[in-house]
Each structure stands twice: as structure tokens, then as C-alpha cells.
Amino acid sequence: MILKAGDIIIYNATKGGLFSSLQRYFTRMKFTHTAVVFNKIIGLDSVIEANETVAITPFSRTLHENITEFWVFRIKDVNDERIQEALQYIYDKLSGKLYGFLQLLYFVRRWVWETNWVKFFFSWMPRLIGKPDDVRQWNNWFVKGTICSELKWHYDHYIAEKINDEEWLKILEEWNSNNFHSGDAYIVCERVEKINLKYKRIILNDEMKLFEY
């Protein structure tokens, strides 16, 4: 597997403990983490990601674990110079920021409002309290700190804005950076024409297998 700076990686920590289980439950999706491939550091594939803080870490940790599924997406038809600008942008903007744990409370609220029976019986309520019908457009009460999927939202938005890709921007702006989880990041990768799946490593028949596309 050959990673390229600017690739987007979306993970499912199959044995990530309670935190990963809660993520899957409240997002109703299996994706638990997002990172962007950075330039190599002393020859090692590295990613910029948000854990306790936003930092650049070696991707080899994930490879050696052999318990984490991942999907690698690659942006096409965007030159390397623009990719480097976007990586520098998210590094300058977010590196060193603390993880936004309180920000995650929004996803509990979103889970409630996206529940079918709540939508059926209380669809009138958002307008009554002056909010958009789509809970993805509601404000997050806690915006300090950074969660992992925020990196991907800012990275995508920077590129889409610079190349004036209105369709990509339109898709991204169904959310904002604080209301965007790893499952949303996967959805954007599937919907944006310029983003293609390059690799995936998944558990199949109780074995971890890598596929290239």
C-alpha cells in the first residue's frame, strides 16, 4: 500500500473500547476516526489527526495494530501544490489544539433529533424555536477544541474553495465543521466526484484483508 500526502483515511476501531462503541451508537455508523495523510516524517508515512491534541503521528501504529479497519480515499484532478497548501492550512490552523470532548455532546442531541419517532411527532418543533429543520445545521454549543473529523472538513473546504468546486462546497455545507462526524466524512468522500476510494482494510471471514482499487 502506497499512501500519498493528502489522502483521507477513515477508520473503524473494531476494538476501540467504550468510546468507539458510543461513537458507533450515536452516529448509527461504524466509522470512529478520521485523519489526513501528511508529508513523510523521517521516511515514515504520517497522518495529521486529533487525539488528545491535534498532532502528526506515524500511520504504522494503525498498520501494526491489525484490529482497525480503514478506508483510504484519494483526491483526483487537484495538483500537488494545492494539496500541500491545504495541508499547511490545517496544520497552521489546528495543530496543537486540544480535543473537543464537549463538542461530542452535540452528536447525542443530533441522534435524538434524527430518531424516526422524534422526527415524526416533533417535526414542528425546530421552526417553533427558530432552528432549521435539518439538525445538521444547528449550532454546536461547545466549539472550543477540535475533533478528528473537523480536520477533514477544513481540509476539503479549503481545496473546494480554492478550485471553485461549487458542488463539493454545497455538499460540505450541509454540515459545519463542528457538527461533522467520521460517518459524515465517509459520506462526503462517496458523494464528491473528485474523491475516490484507493484502499480499504476490513475484516472479512474473521481475517483482516487489504483491497486496492
Query: What does the pLDDT average to over 101-114?
Result: 96
Of the candidates 18, 92, 94, 105, the one whose C-alpha atom is nearest the C-alpha of residue 54 is: 94
> Per the domain annotation, does 166 fall within a domain?
yes
The model's pTM: 0.94
Provide the number of structural domains found in the chain. Answer: 1
Q: What's residue 65's pLDDT?
A: 79
**Residue 172, amino acid:** L
User: 3 lies in a domain?
Assistant: no
Domain of residue 203 covers: 8-212
User: Out of 60-69, 133-142, 202-211, which region has the weakest mean confidence (pLDDT)?
Assistant: 60-69
Residues 6+ apart with CB under 8 A from 212: 1, 198, 199
The residue type of 121 is F
pLDDT(174) > 90:
yes
Question: Given this model, what pLDDT does residue 141 score?
Answer: 93
Contacts of 180 (CB under 8 A, 6+ apart): 149, 150, 152, 153
pLDDT tens digits, one per residue of 32-84: 999 999 999 999 999 999 999 999 999 998 888 778 999 999 999 999 999 99
Q: What is the pLDDT averaged over residues 131-151? A: 94
Instruction: With respect to residue 2, please indicate whether it lies within any of the assigned structural domains.
Output: no
What's the grid cell of residue 61?
A: 501504529
Across the range 135-154, mean pLDDT stands at 95
Q: What is the pLDDT of residue 172?
A: 97
Residue 29: what pLDDT? 96
Q: Is residue 178 part of a domain?
A: yes
In a domain, 37, yes or no: yes
Please indicate, yes or no, if residue 168 is contained in any of the structural domains.
Answer: yes
The set of residues, in sequence order, having a beta carbon less than 8 Å from that of 122 and lying 6+ positions away, is none
Q: How many residues does the chain have?
A: 213
Predicted pLDDT at 150: 97
- The answer to whether the CB of 189 falls within 8 A of the CB of 73 is yes
**CATH number (domain holding residue 173):** 3.90.1720
H or E segment to which residue 208 belongs: strand 207-212
SS3 137: helix
pLDDT at 26: 95
